[in-house]
Amino acid sequence: MQIGRCWFDIAQAQLSNQDNDTSWKMPPAEFAVLNTLVEHRDKVLSNEQLLASLPEQTRSLASLEAAIKRVRFFLGQSALFIEAVDGQGYILHSKSTRATGFWALRPGKSMSLKQYSLLIAQLVLLLLLIYSLFEPTAKIFFP
């Protein structure tokens, strides 16, 4: 199963990162979480659903979060495919949902294009107001 630039081998419980040519024999908790996310790709899974997939001795919210953190760390750039959904759980996307180029670098990534445009317009108006408050400097002529 391909996850970005990584390959998840379910039969061997192994995750291979093609960016840095490394492979990771996954511990049971990490394998269980990633396998459950892969089985329900593009669907939000609650923390309870993911907890149920963990081995019984490691079934806690802290171990779930730690397992997801370790999987994301190994995925590197491909970690963008795993998204935390506030108050609901996690989702593994089939395709990258992150913006690229200029829009990925803009401040306030949660702002809509309309809100961002309004902010820029307000900044331009503020600069015009400041410019209008100051008198231009006197011109000095040199002979």
CATH of the domain at 80: 1.10.10.10
> What is the pLDDT at residue 100?
46
Question: Is the residue at 142 inside a domain?
Answer: no
- Domain extent, residue 75, equals 2-92
What single-letter amino acid sits at 95? Answer: K
> What is the pLDDT at residue 69?
94
What does the mean pLDDT of the chain come to?
84
Number of separate domains in the chain: 2
The beta strand positions in the chain, using DSSP E, are: 2-3, 6-9, 14-17, 22-25, 45-46, 82-85, 89-92
77 and 124 co-located in one domain: no
Question: Is the residue at 19 inside a domain?
Answer: yes
Q: What is the tens place of the pLDDT at every residue in 30-41?
A: 999 999 999 999
Q: What is the tens place of the pLDDT at every residue in 46-80?
A: 999 999 999 888 889 899 999 999 999 998 888 88
117 and 63 co-located in one domain: no
| CA–CA distance, 93 with 11 (Å, rounded to integer) | 21
| CA–CA distance, 84 with 119 (Å, rounded to integer) | 28
- Is the confidence at residue 82, as pLDDT, over 50? yes
54 and 26 co-located in one domain: yes
> What is the pLDDT at residue 43?
93
5 secondary structure, DSSP code = T
* Residue 74 near residue 24, CB atoms below 8 Å: yes
- Is the confidence at residue 126, as pLDDT, over 90? yes
- Is the confidence at residue 122, as pLDDT, over 90? yes
